[in-house]
Amino acid sequence: MAEEESQFEEFDQIDFLRDRHVRFFQRTLQVLPERYASLETTRLTIIFFALSGLDVLDALDVIDRNVMIEWIYSLQVLPTEDQSNLSRCGFRGSSHIGIPYSTKGPGVLHPYDSGHVAMTYTGLCSLLILGDDLSRVNKQACLAGLRALQLEDGSFYAVPEGSENDIRFIYCAASICYMLDDWSGMDIQKAIEYIRGSLSYDNGFGQGAGRESHGGWTYCAIASLCLMGRLEEALSQRELDRIRRWCIMRQQTGFHGRPNKPVDTCYSFWVGATLELLDVFQYTNFEKNRSFILSTQDRLVGGFAKWPDSHPDPLHAYLGLCGLSLIGEPSLRKVHPALNITQRAFQHLQQLQQTWRDSTGSCSRQH
Amino acid sequence: MFFFYTVVLPPVLLDSTVNVKHLFIVLIGCILKVQPPKPLAKDRKEWADLEPVPQDDGPNPVVKIAYSEKFSDVYDYFRALLKNDERSDRAFALTAEAIELNAANYTVWHYRRVLLQALSKDLREEMRYITAIIEEQPKNYQVWHHRRMVVEWLNDPSEELEFIADILSQDAKNYHAWQHRQWVIQEYKLWDNELKFVENLLEDDVRNNSAWNQRHFVISHTTGFSDPAIVEREIQYCLSQIRKAPHNESAWNYLKGMLQDRGLSSPPGLLERVLELKETHCSPYLLAFLFDCYEDALENSNQKENVGEEERKDILRKALEICDLLANEKDTIRKEYWLFLGRSLENKSGSRGPSDKPPEPSDPASGQQEMS
The model's pLDDT over A230-273, given as tens digits with 9 standing for 90+, comes to 999 999 999 999 999 999 999 999 999 999 999 999 999 999 99
Q: B105, A40: Cβ pair inside 8 Å?
A: yes
pLDDT at A7: 52
CA distance A332 to A57: 5
Q: Does A263 touch chain B (CB under 8 A)?
A: no
Distance from CA of A37 to the nearest CA of B (A): 6
Q: What is the pLDDT of residues A49-91, one digit of tens each?
A: 999 999 999 999 999 999 999 999 999 999 999 999 999 999 9
Closest CB to A68: pick one of B62, B65, B333. B62
CA distance B267 to A260: 27
Question: B41 falls in which pLDDT band (50, 70, 90)?
Answer: confident
CA distance A331 to A314: 20
What is each CA distance from B128 to B104, B147, B182, in whole angstroms?
A: 19, 10, 21
Q: What is the pLDDT of residues B165-188, one digit of tens each?
A: 999 999 999 999 999 999 999 999
Q: B62, A29: Cβ pair inside 8 Å?
A: yes
ipTM of the complex: 0.94
Q: Does A200 touch chain B (CB under 8 A)?
A: yes
B252-278 burial code (b ≥16 CB/10 A, e <16):
bbbbbbbbbeeebbebeebbeebeebb
Q: Does A28 touch chain B (CB under 8 A)?
A: yes
pLDDT at B349: 84
Neighbours of B354 (CB within 10 A): 12
Residue B50 has pLDDT above 90, yes or no: yes
Q: Which residues of A fall within a CB distance of 8 Å from B105?
A: 40-41, 96
Residue B319 DSSP one-character state: H
What is each CA distance from B139 to A49, B159, B177, in whole angstroms?
A: 21, 19, 9
Q: Which residues of B are catalytic?
A: 139
pLDDT at B36: 64
Residue B22 has pLDDT above 90, yes or no: no
Q: Does A75 touch chain B (CB under 8 A)?
A: no
Q: What is the pLDDT of residues B68-100, one digit of tens each?
A: 999 999 999 999 999 999 999 999 999 999 999
Q: B213, A212: Cβ pair inside 8 Å?
A: yes
Residue B20 has pLDDT above 70, yes or no: no
Q: Which residues of A fall within a CB distance of 8 Å from B98?
A: none
Residue B264 makes CB contacts below 8 A (sequence gap 6+) with B256, B270, B289, B292, B293, B296
pLDDT at B356: 46
Closest CB to B333: pick one of A33, A70, A285. A285
Tell me the average pLDDT of chain A: 95
Contact A302, A311 (CB under 8 A): no
CA distance A174 to A225: 8
Tell me the average pLDDT of chain B: 89
Residue B354 has pLDDT above 90, yes or no: no
Q: Of all helices (H) and strands (E), which one includes residue A341?
A: strand A341-342
Q: Which residues of B fall within a CB distance of 8 Å from A246?
A: 253
Q: What is the pLDDT of residues B132-170, one digit of tens each?
A: 999 999 999 999 999 999 999 999 999 999 999 999 999
Higher-confidence residue: B5 or A223?
A223
Q: A30, B367: Cβ pair inside 8 Å?
A: no
Neighbours of B30 (CB within 10 A): 18
Q: What is the pLDDT of residues A159-204, one digit of tens each?
A: 999 999 999 999 999 999 999 999 999 999 999 999 999 999 999 9
Distance from CA of A35 to the nearest CA of B (A): 9
CA distance B92 to B367: 56
Q: B62, A47: Cβ pair inside 8 Å?
A: yes
Contact A93, A119 (CB under 8 A): yes
Residue B363 has pLDDT above 50, yes or no: no
CA distance A199 to A221: 9
Q: Is A297 helix (H, G, I), strand (E, B) or coil?
A: strand
